Amino acid sequence: MTPKEISVVGVPLDYGADRRGVDMGPSAIRYAGLHEKLRQAGHVVNDLGNLAVPVPESRTPRDPHAKYMDEIVKVNRVLARTIEKVSREGQFPLVLGGDHAIAMGTIAGILRVRPKIGLLWFDAHGDFNTEKTSPSGNVHGMPAAVAAGRSQSDLAIPFKGHFLDESKIVYVGVRTLDREEARALRESRTTVFSMHEVDRYGMREVMARAMDLVTDGTDGVHLSFDIDALDPLYAPGSGTPFNGGLTDREAHLALELLAEGDILTSMEMVEVNPILDERNRTGCLAANLIASALGHRII
């Protein structure tokens, strides 16, 4: 992988889900030796610190269909400006969450610089609900749909009318979807490699197909990685665990293949929850996965 100047941005956002704790995710990943792993891979690392995010206890959710929407939009507008600046300066944005609602800010900022971005979305879930279909009102289940221009709410404000091309959104590892969300994905132009495809074809073949899709006609590739893409056996520190996920080696292989292809132009790692973890096991796994995606090698 070509050496990069990486700008790390922490976003301790804890508004998008019902279970608390992901606001400590950025610290857990950093503590696991992230910076040193990236430097060993030949990169320059600049840590921009964490964005300021008020704790949920100081706020009251107003809309039950999109909880804490105002607060999430405010943080994502700041995040979008930060990512836009980093990208325009030629640096590689690496965002540490926080819950997956931060993806709206990350992607909005990237689109201002790379309007034809391809998106790889590793997740147990589709995150393709909107405020009209979500059974919970939890915004961390909506960012992919918002980024594709499907929301009519204020969640779309950071995008300034510029959204992803759905045909360039590719999922890997999906294994649980809400009913309306599944229908929306079937009717969309996205590509979903569920765990069925991973089991049937193997990770190498799935990644070959996925990489072809996200690089065809695009001006970069963003990787959005939810740690619950892995089975909870390997990543217990996640607020929304679901059995039957990726093994740690399947995940590493997928990201090592991305590094070999040298196609990534930005990345985020989200939903690490230290409160639910075992001695920072999931934080360490997240740091190692980031390192794999950015070219860290065994030998």
In a domain, 210, yes or no: yes
* pLDDT of amino acid 58: 80
Is 65 annotated among the ligand-binding residues?
no
- pLDDT at 148 exceeding the cut of 90: yes
In a domain, 123, yes or no: yes
Confidence label for 61 from pLDDT (cuts 50, 70 and 90):
confident
- pLDDT at 173 exceeding the cut of 80: yes
In a domain, 94, yes or no: yes
- pLDDT at 299 exceeding the cut of 80: no
Dump pLDDT digits (tens) for 79-122.
Answer: 999 999 999 999 999 999 999 999 999 999 999 999 999 999 99
What value does the mean pLDDT of the chain take?
97
In a domain, 42, yes or no: yes
Query: Considering the chain, what percentage of its residues have pLDDT values greater than 90?
Result: 94
- pLDDT at 288 exceeding the cut of 90: yes
State mean pLDDT over 146-174: 97
pTM of the predicted model, to two decimals?
A: 0.97
In a domain, 165, yes or no: yes
* pLDDT of amino acid 72: 97
Would you mind telling me the total number of residues written for the chain in this entry? 299
Is 228 annotated among the ligand-binding residues?
yes
Dump pLDDT digits (tens) for 17-57.
Answer: 888 899 999 999 999 999 999 999 999 999 999 999 988 88
* pLDDT of amino acid 201: 98
> What φ, ψ does residue 132 adopt, rounded to 5°?
-90, -20
Task: Tell me the residue range of the domain where 223 lies.
Answer: 5-293
Number of domains in the chain: 1
**Angle of CA points 221, 222, 227, to nearest 5°:** 135
Confidence label for 285 from pLDDT (cuts 50, 70 and 90):
very high
CATH number of domain containing 169:
3.40.800.10
Cis check for the bond before 33: say yes or no (omega within 30 of 0): no
Is 18 annotated among the ligand-binding residues?
no
CA dist 170 → 71, 77, 144, 180 (Å) = 28, 25, 10, 19
Q: Which of 10-19, 37-46, 193-202 has the lowest mean pLDDT?
A: 10-19
In a domain, 298, yes or no: no
Is 125 annotated among the ligand-binding residues?
yes
State mean pLDDT over 244-270: 98
Dump pLDDT digits (tens) for 217-242.
Answer: 999 999 999 999 999 999 999 999 99
Is 286 within 8 Å of 236 (Cβ atoms)? no
In a domain, 217, yes or no: yes
* pLDDT of amino acid 193: 98
Catalytic residues: 100, 123, 125, 127, 140, 226, 228, 271
Is 14 annotated among the ligand-binding residues?
no
- pLDDT at 150 exceeding the cut of 90: yes
In a domain, 272, yes or no: yes
